């Protein structure tokens, strides 16, 4: 009797073992059965799909001269009602006021001065960090060369050789970097890019101010003197 019971127990054990490792091609295979392995894989795929995608930082895009490889602001303005000598005088009046030092003409302001033809100006602007629309703090100054070509009824402005001079320290000289370095460096990208963005804003504001002055009708014709 005991021997018969042992045989029955062995048969039952073999049956359960084969049920757990069925061949998919066997008649008794349960196609509706699921495994914990497949569930874990699906949950892992869902977790990876929901992971946030971090976009790369987009730097400011500035115009670069294809010949000099310098960052350049340039434009040709048609002003048919103005003579070359009128445009020349207006430009000098604007530059003397814009780049004055304590109300006086800056020393070495004009690198070249060809009456009614060409002006090469050593210009500068105060640099600022803008915290918001109403708050800003000094960040040195921007230096550049501004070339004005003048003809009858039109003029061309070109701004190049742009550099940022940091706030002067208590001792020593302030650091100076050209815009091209800020534009191409692979370190501290967000910091230098913010400087270029602030500068771009202020330079374009200066250009618009210059063009406005050039359009204004003079109280007395510059030719009548």
Instruction: Tell me the HSE value of 28 on the side-chain side, using a 13 A CA sphere.
Output: 7
Query: What pLDDT was estimated at residue 185?
Result: 97
Query: What pLDDT was estimated at residue 21?
Result: 52
Mean pLDDT for the stretch of residues 109-122: 96
Query: What pLDDT was estimated at residue 31?
Result: 47
Between 222 and 201, name the one with better pLDDT: 201
Domain ranges of the chain: 73-213
Query: What pLDDT was estimated at residue 6?
Result: 53
Query: What pLDDT was estimated at residue 53?
Result: 83
16 pLDDT higher than 60: no
E-strand ranges in 57-135 read: 73-78, 110-114, 118-130
pLDDT tens digits, one per residue of 162-220: 999 999 999 999 999 999 999 999 999 999 999 999 999 999 999 999 999 999 876 55
Q: What average pLDDT does the chain have?
A: 84
- Domain 73-213 - what CATH class? alpha beta
Greatest mean pLDDT range, 17-31, 39-53, 186-200: 186-200
Which residue is associated with the tokens 């303005």?
Answer: 77
Mean pLDDT for the stretch of residues 150-157: 98
Query: What pLDDT was estimated at residue 85?
Result: 95
DSSP-derived pairing of the beta strands 176-178 and 154-165 = antiparallel
3-state secondary structure of 189: helix
Cα separation, 221 vs 225, in Å, equals 8
Mean pLDDT for the stretch of residues 1-17: 49
Which residue is associated with the tokens 């009548």?
Answer: 224
Q: Which of the residue ranges 7-16, 85-94, 146-155 would you say has the lowest mean pLDDT?
A: 7-16
15 pLDDT higher than 80: no
pTM, to two decimals: 0.74
Report in angstroms the alpha-carbon separations of 101 from 108, 122, 195, 207: 11, 13, 24, 20
Cα separation, 131 vs 137, in Å, equals 8
The DSSP element (H or E) to which 218 belongs, if any, is none
Q: Is 213 exposed, middle or buried (0-12, 13-18, 19+ CB in 10 A)?
A: middle
225 pLDDT higher than 70: no
Cα separation, 92 vs 134, in Å, equals 32
Check: CB of residue 165 under 8 Å from CB of residue 176.
yes
Between 23 and 143, name the one with better pLDDT: 143
């Amino acid at each position: 009797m005991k021997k018969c019971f042992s045989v029955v127990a062995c048969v039952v054990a073999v049956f359960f073992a084969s049920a757990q490792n069925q061949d998919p091609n066997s008649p008794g295979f349960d196609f509706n059965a699921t495994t914990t392995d497949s569930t874990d894989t699906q949950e892992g795929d869902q977790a990876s799909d929901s992971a946030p995608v971090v976009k790369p930082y987009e730097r400011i895009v500035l115009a670069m001269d294809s010949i000099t490889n310098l960052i350049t602001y340039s434009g040709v303005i048609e002003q048919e009602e103005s003579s070359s000598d009128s445009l020349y005088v207006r430009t000098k009046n604007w530059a003397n006021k814009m780049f004055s030092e304590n109300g006086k003409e800056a020393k070495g302001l004009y690198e070249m001065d060809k009456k009614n033809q060409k002006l090469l100006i050593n210009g500068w602007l105060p640099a600022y960090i803008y915290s918001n629309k109403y708050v800003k703090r000094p960040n040195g100054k921007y230096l550049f060369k501004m070339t004005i070509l003048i003809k009858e009824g039109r003029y061309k402005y070109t701004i190049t050789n742009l550099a940022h001079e940091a706030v002067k320290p208590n001792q020593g000289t302030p650091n100076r970097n050209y815009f091209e370095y800020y534009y191409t460096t692979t370190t501290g990208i967000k910091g230098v890019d913010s400087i270029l963005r602030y500068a771009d804003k202020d330079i374009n504001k200066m250009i618009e101010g210059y063009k406005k002055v050039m359009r204004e009708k003079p109280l007395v014709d510059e030719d009548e003197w």
